[in-house]
Amino acid sequence: MDVALLKCEKYDLALVKDKLREAMSLLGGWKITPNDRVFIKLNCVGPFSSEMGITTHPIFVQAVIQLVKEKTSHIMIGDNPATKDILYTLRKNGLLEMIREENIPIVDGKEFSCIANPHGKYYDSFEVSKQMIDVDVLINLPKLKTHAFAYMSVAEKNLFGLIFGLSKAAWHMKASNPLQFGEAINDLYQAILLSFHDKTMIHLCDGILGLEGEGPSTGGKPIASKVIMASYDAVSLDRV
């Protein structure tokens, strides 16, 4: 599947919006209708400032929100931080005030639904946050990061955040080596694809400021990667 890869040197709202418009135009458009319910999935792994390159940058998120508002008014946003409350984490990420100014409801992820993958290599079912998948369009906003355990943390890995909070730790115990964990992420992604067979997923990667080294959090160091990536397929984006 196609992947758009564009140079973007800084977090300027007008510039980022133009680049995202161009990226989605290259992919054939947004595929969002006025009645569609959209969930924007952030990367808010923990309460870290945006300058650290760990979480989706507020300007990148605001650009996405404003562009999606041109298509539909039915928008929700959120993530499942590993250890902290979502509102506390968003405040530390510099996202909370902007999201409230944009008047977008924040999902807390505490209502669950089970999705299945009968073809899974290791795992055939996953308990995920219901509000995040009970939508018409899922927009996934990963950061471009290296990862001490998974090697890379981009579009597919960010979907691991559909699993609620501390429940993610149990998956690290079950899939306890990088290869098995990678297959678990593949099994989860296919379960999401099966549940979204008649819906839309869009992956927009914030790589303007990336993270390299022992990520995905404070073990890594921020680096100016200066890219925005977009695709309708997480695997294709991650391979690029």
- Report pLDDT digits (tens) over 17-49: 999 999 999 999 999 999 999 999 999 999 999
Average pLDDT over residues 88-113: 96
pLDDT tens-place string over residues 154-196: 999 999 999 986 666 666 567 778 888 899 999 999 999 999 9
Query: Which parts of 79-191 are beta strand (E)?
Result: 106-107, 112-116, 125-129, 137-140, 143-147, 151-153
Beta bridge partners of residue 200, listed in sequence order: 137
Q: What pLDDT shows up at residue 173?
A: 67
Q: What pLDDT shows up at residue 125?
A: 92
- Output the CA–CA distances (angstroms, integers) from residue 7 to 19, 46, 102, 207, 225, in the order listed: 8, 27, 26, 9, 9
Q: What pLDDT shows up at residue 45?
A: 92
Determine the residue type at 33. T
State the pLDDT confidence band at 55, using cuts at 50, 70 and 90: very high
Q: In which element (H, E) is residue 111 found?
A: none
